[in-house]
Structure 1
Amino acid sequence: MSEVVDPRPVGSRWWAVARSVRPSTRMWYDLVAPGAMILVVTAGRPPLWGTVLALALFVVFHAGHTYFNDVTDVDVDRNSVERDRSDRALVSNRVSRSDMMVTGIGFAAVSLVLALVISPLVLLLTVVATALVLAYNFPPVRLSGRPLATQVFWPVTWALMYAICALATESGDWRDGLPFLAFVVLFMGIGEAITQDTRDADNDEAGGRRTTPVVFGVWPTAVAAWVAQALSVVALGFAVANGSVWPWCGAVAVAGVVAWLARFWLAVARLRRGFDKAEAKLTHVGSIYTFTFVNVVVGLGVVIGG
């Protein structure tokens, strides 16, 4: 059966494709987060060219991931009560599946070229990351629809990003940043990944996707996400204590996470009474805001402390 696409001018369709890149996600996920990693591994003295290439690689690579994800998420997005999910370009037929696939493949190809420009080893890591993205989104593996799989996928993804940051900047001090990586893995790789699925538990279940909260329950997995983010405070404390972050910035970063954990726990308590879309969404959005805040403060602290 042929795809039904809104009969608008081609320019309008491609504008919808372009908007699907999600600029706000590209900002916090592909610029702010790896930017902080680069500052940490280079002790606040990042090389310009290596930094630009690494950040460009992340933007292009994850843009491709976004288009693939939209293609495979149509059923669950269509069942979402959130307008930013149910009104996505592919769900509302403003673009075709082939539009999104061609764009995603194009971004993926450019990311491999950028990786090769940086180094053969970065290219190898990008190839591994590409294989993981395909396994995450598409059958027969489709990790995004398997319980506990994302609790492996996202930590590995963040670790690969850290390794690429270190290689692109030719940093010999990458070991000094491992406590910060541990914070990222615990807070985002495990904690935020669970909250992302918690937010979408209702439409994931309606769309036939068996994520961790769908299989094990929203409240138990929300507790697990809170525990992972609480443990991340210890890792962040070690990252601050190594002396590379200006103490005041380090204290503000830790305080920010602790404040978020207090609000997160209120959401967890409410989710125990049953699924609440607003509270579930808050656990996800709040995790992203808190993580972005910590990255900005830590990055500033490294620059001042260095």
Structure 2
Amino acid sequence: MRLRWIVSYCALCSMAAASLAAAEEPTAKPPAEEPAATSPELIELLQKWEAASPQGEVVEIQFERYVYDHTFFTEERGIGRLVVQQPNQGLLELKPMPNQSGEKSKRMGPNGRQYDLQPISPMLWYWDGKSITQIYTQEKTYRRIPIPETIPTTPAELLTSFASWTFPWQKLSKPQFLFPLVADVKSEQLLIDYDWFRGKKNPNGFHLVARPKTEGLRQEFKQIDVLLDKESLQTYATRIEHTGGRAQTVSVIKDVKTDPAQIGDWRPKLNGYKLVGNPGTNQQQQNPKKKPVAFDWGWAVEFLMFVLGIAQ
């Protein structure tokens, strides 16, 4: 079964990149049919998608990523991996795509301007269930921000916790938020979060269109197109249209692993790395005699600005 899954992905990846990456600018009303709420067939498909999605205690997804900035006419290409370990641990890593020297973007703007091909900015984020860590491999440094366990209610709590228990912060406690509709697929939650439509006919599988229902999700995404493999019913490509229409992020799945032995020890080793910035509550708990320090607001704001504006 796994061999067929890999062969199917290899055959579909190049077509997915071509069809999604080379798509025209977003339109106000892309081809769509009945919403999932009134379409039993589409609800059944979402349930089958959930049943076929990668299951297990830990899942590793390797992918290619293409980010199109419609303001500055740039295309960024990269490779990455997402590791999700239930319930809230994981890792998201992005690196520039190798062997791009001499290549040019095939994306053209509405005025015929060719997009400038650039390497994607490297990033490494790690979730351990209690905090989120941003790791800078070249500088050998890292920054850590604790995940609040409760809503801050007193001035003292505001000094050592993030000041706003908002939608983005709640979602950021799980790594799959930065790569939606690929891992940890739950049909009931999909119907709560999105209105679902059928997209264009796809001979290789199913094209689904998700439009956010909640205000929080609308701040992140305008629309997400999902391509499901015809046989495995697993996601093999997604295209995110970001709020404001200034950017698109296309991701093409290359491989999925659910065997812990094959995934191995995915947690980053920080020996020899230096902690920079304010470590927040973690350091104060480990060193209670030290004078409390205010939370690193600059790091927190930088983090949320990165996520809210990712690929925009």
- Under a length normalisation based on structure 1, what TM-score does the superposition of the two structures give? 0.26
Rg larger in structure: 2
Task: Give the structure with the larger helix fraction.
Answer: 1
